[in-house]
Amino acid sequence: MKLPYAEPFRIKVVEPLRTSTKEERAKWIEDAHFNLFNLRSEQVFIDLLTDSGTGSMSSHQWAEMMLGDESYAGASSFYKLKETIEELLGFPYMLPTHQGRAAENVLFSAIIGKDGTGKVVPGNSHFDTTKGHIEFRNARAIDCTIDEAFDTTIDHPFKGNIDLEKLEKVFKQYDRENIPMCIITVTCNTSGGQPVSMQNIKDVSALCKKYGITVIFDAARFAENAYFIKIREEGYQDKTIKEIVREMFSHVDGCTMSAKKDGIVNMGGFIGLNSKELYEKASVFNIVFEGYLTYGGMTGRDMGALAVGLKEATEYDYLEQRVGQVAYLGRMLRDYGIPVQEPFGGHAIFVDAKRFLTKVPKEEFIAQTLGVELYIEGGVRGVEIGTLLADRDPDTRENRYPDLELLRLAIGRRLYTDSHMEYIAAALKNVYDRRDEITKGLKIVKEAPIMRHFTVELERA
């Protein structure tokens, strides 16, 4: 028989987890104003808040930490990272930053400028920090994701794809100088960790070329995207992940990267670019916001560990287990009858909260309510990808109600075992069994003017 995947690693160091009772958790979440970000990590048993910066580094990465060169300028660790990025992604120019949003800040300062009034940035669904950095500059993000992405019951292999007609409409509606770039997020976190096909990357790139628009990857989960291309797209089965990655990046002008995801490090990011001119423009902002060009917000040891992490994340065996474990959780939930986004995403399972808690009104933050229930049930912390995250419209200040109201269960890289997946599925099943009793949600007591989900305070409605 075909052998199943098994973790292509064994465990050398373990980190104990603290268990708690339902009563303790009910009190803690109330004290935390029903905001899962406000919990202390010891109050959480299995933490699925994010797959960002939470992965386990390998022995090779830890060994590289000791080789870290902490020179202010010209550190050998910088060159290790620069050469790895050029070899894997093909970019001759690179700027290190402390994380993904810092890369956005630096690059968007160069591309959009200080005041982007009247400008638009189309793409598939932008991540919230990406949208935040666009809106912070008074520009607007335009979501051109295919419609299939917003129906969790439709099975489509590449729900991260951009709808070319929607994109061309934007190109025709706005002048070229008001479209500083098009961003393709691989995989598309906001639409459910869904991949973009190579064909779509090629088509978007060709359309952008026709209109003279720069194409940028938000590359946080580029390796998982490459894995989906290999297993789902015609003609890529026999290519290695590294070949697919090289081909993906050959179609774009640059990238911003949150290395906390597919770099398998706890902190870090970078900008990769083909254009020397754009690199020089962005360099000025890197020095102002991040640090000197050869460290920009990262230590030498972190840059070394990232160079190794990028190579490990683009290995087939690693990705097969990584994406396989996420799918294992997804299949268990589906078998329990729980509505989940399908096909399963690369880094997380997205629970369709609207179809799960049908009695909670949309004004009462359905996915957040589900997140609170799952936490009380089993000490499992997910995160809301719904109305809280969608924030208010910057023009009307009204709540934006996204098509999808999701509870994201993000799985850290090389972090939890398949037994943890079984525990998570059982906890959510228990909530599902009592779903009809949950008729009330939450209401906002206090919120910030932008990116409110991190600090919002809520009470029971």
52 is a contact residue toward ligand F0G (CB under 6 A) = yes
| 341 is an interface residue for ligand F0G by CB under 6 A | no
Q: Is 261 a catalytic residue?
A: yes
Among 25, 39, 44, 50, binds ligand F0G (CB under 6 A): 50
| Bridge partners for 406 per DSSP | 352, 385
| Distance in Å, CB of 269 to ligand F0G, minimum | 5
| Residue 185 contacts ligand F0G per CB under 6 A | yes
**Binding of ligand F0G by 129 (CB under 6 A):** yes
- The answer to whether the beta carbons of residues 411 and 420 sit under 8 Å apart is no
218 binds ligand F0G (CB under 6 A): yes
Q: CB of 84: closest distance to ligand F0G in angstroms?
A: 18
Which of 220, 223, 259, 348 is catalytic? The answer is 220
What is d(CA 6, CA 368) in angstroms, rounded to the nearest whole number?
33
Q: Is 416 helix (H, G, I), strand (E, B) or coil?
A: coil
Least distance (Å) between residue 323 CB and ligand F0G? 16
92 touches 274 (CB < 8 A) = yes
Concerning whether 347 is annotated as a catalytic residue, the answer is no
Site string (1-40) toward ligand F0G, x via CB under 6 A: ----------------------------------------
- Which conformational region is residue 397 in: left (phi greater than 0), alpha (psi within -120 to 50 degrees), or beta? left
The CB-of-162 to ligand F0G minimum distance in angstroms stands at 15
Residue 361 Cβ, how far from ligand F0G at the closest point, in Å?
Answer: 27
Known catalytic residue at 416: no
Q: How far is CA 55 from the centre of its chain?
A: 13
130 binds ligand F0G (CB under 6 A): yes
Catalytic residue list contains 78:
no
Residue nearer to ligand F0G on the CB measure, 107 or 458: 107
Closer residue to ligand F0G (CB): 120 or 184: 184
- How many other CB atoms sit within 10 Å of the CB of residue 449? 9
The DSSP string of 182-215 is EEEESSBTTTTSB---HHHHHHHHHHHHHHT--E
Residue from the set 32, 134, 201, 220 that interacts with ligand F0G by CB under 6 A: 220
Which one among 99, 105, 214, 369 touches ligand F0G, defined by CB under 6 A? 99
CB closer to ligand F0G, 162 vs 438: 162
Nearer to ligand F0G, 28 or 108 (CB): 108
Q: What is the contact mask toward ligand F0G in residues 246 to 285, using x (rule: CB under 6 A)?
A: ------------x-x--------x----------------
Contact window for ligand F0G (CB under 6 A) among 94-102, 154-162, 277-285, 353-361: 94-102
My answer on whether omega of the bond before 187 falls inside 30° of 0, hence cis, is yes
Please, what is the minimum distance in Å from the beta carbon of residue 150 to ligand F0G?
A: 17
Contact predicate 372/443, CB 8 Å: no
Cα separation of 303 and 282, whole Å? 19
Q: Which of 69, 128, 262, 302 is catalytic?
A: 128
User: 220 an active-site residue?
Assistant: yes
Toward ligand F0G, which CB reaches closer, 25 or 260? 260
Tokens 């070329």: give the residue.
209
Nearer to ligand F0G by Cβ, of 36 and 421: the residue is: 36
Return d(Cα 279, Cα 277) in angstroms, integer. 5
The DSSP result for 351-408, as a single string, is EEHHHHSTTS-GGG-HHHHHHHHHHHHHSEE-EEESHHHH-B-TTT-PBP--S--EEE
Burial class (CB in 10 A: 0-12, 13-18, 19+), 73: exposed
Distance between CA atoms of residues 272 and 222, nearest Å = 13
Taking the least distance from each CB to ligand F0G, the nearer of 129 and 299 is 129
Nearest C-alpha neighbor of 187 from the set 429, 48, 350, 15: 350
Distance in Å, CB of 172 to ligand F0G, minimum: 27
The pair of three-digit structure tokens given for residue 225, joined into one six-digit string: 């995207």
CA distance linking residue 304 with residue 307, whole number of Å: 5
Residue span binding ligand F0G (CB under 6 A) among the ranges 73-81, 124-132, 133-141, 173-181: 124-132
Catalytic pick among 78, 91, 127, 416: 127
- The reply to whether 189 sits near ligand F0G by the rule CB under 6 A is yes
Whole-number minimum distance, CB 125 to ligand F0G, in Å? 9
Q: Which residues does 308 contact at the CB level (< 8 Å), separation at least 6?
A: 58, 60, 61, 64
Measured torsion, CA atoms of residues 6, 87, 275, 111, in degrees rounded to the nearest 10: 20
Nearest to 131 by CA among 176, 162, 101: 101
> Which of 60, 63, 72, 359 is labelled catalytic?
72
Q: How far is the CB of 438 from ligand F0G (least distance, A)?
A: 25
Give the H/E segment covering residue 458. strand 457-460
Among all residues, which ones are annotated catalytic? 72, 127-128, 218, 220, 261, 453
Query: Which residues sit at the interface with ligand F0G, rule CB under 6 A?
Result: 50, 52, 99-101, 127, 129-130, 185, 189, 218, 220, 258, 260, 269
